[in-house]
Structure 1
Amino acid sequence: MKPLHLNLAARPYRDYRPVYAVVVTMSLLTAFLMLNNIETWYRYKNDTSSTSGKIDTVEAKIRRERELQEIAQRKLRALDLATLDAQSHFVNAKLAERAFSWSTLLDELESVMPQDVRLVSVAPSFSPDGTIALVLNFEAKGPTGMITTINRMNADPQFSNAFPDNEQLQQSGTYVFNLHATYTPPAALRAAK
């Protein structure tokens, strides 16, 4: 047999408080998460726009630098390097000529020339490496003047490659001869060491 349940209420009794508590809690949690999403979206939008602005600024600087690089490349390609090189060699040769000390050269020649040899003329030509090619005209009293002069010049560290061009016996009994030699000034010798 079945037990009897007596319900004397007009309506059946139901307790909805736990359901309402769950609904309110879920609503509050949903509202909190929605506000968190809105705040995250707002932060993302602001950070993205400021980062985009920085990226645009950097890209504009890169474009400007590339334009400047292209302008510099065009200017560099427009330079006539062969002419510029020739001009700089010319200017360097002129500076070397102005810096050339005749008195030092003549003192050096005096120290290597034998007693019976006299210097008639000197013609220097300047090279970019600092050495000077000399064409020297001498007059000697005896036939051994040229050989002695060459030997003494080759023994001196400031003269090298002394080589005769010609030798002639004059009617007066003197010998005239020409030499080609390379002269390295003292400053160039010190720089080479």
Structure 2
Amino acid sequence: MADEPEGDSSFGPLGSGRRQQASALQFAPRKKPCHADPLVHHGRHFGRTVHALCNVQALITNGILRLGELADEPEESFTTEERREHRVFRSLLQMVPGLKERLMTGDADNAVAISEQLQKGASSARSDDTKSLKSAILDWITPKGQSLQPPLARNVKVDRGYHHERTGALLCPAGLDWGNSE
């Protein structure tokens, strides 16, 4: 390989054409940094710590109304659910730096874009969490020192649920006896 530049670290000495192996005594290459919108990160955190099953767009829309048009309304005029929703909205405002200013100074399209990014983060956090639980559940439901009969595969869900004796018993409503076929 005469046209290879000297000092090319991907080839061995004297242009042998053989690639050098990475040294095992050096750090592995760094992961490329992920340049996701910071709102997605905040949405993941919000979904894990404040409210996992939340319609963020409705939360933001109602929160903006409550901060703007309904700001003069006394707290007692709202239902328990509306007050709870507003507490969740205030938690979101505290969690995301500058969110209140962005929402109050922007237009409706801006609020929709912000809520989509936050929802994306919350949804992906929920997905990651449930995906990691699928195999861990098998460890939790297996009695100590025993194995499930019939065994359950970690990566196959078809044989779970009401199709399996152990998981069916766990899913059975409390008022019913799983052992009673009627």
Higher strand share: 1
Q: TM-score per shorter chain, which class?
A: under 0.3
Larger radius of gyration: 1
**Greater relative contact order (CA < 8 Å, ≥ 6 in sequence):** 2
**Normalising by structure 2, what TM-score?**
0.25
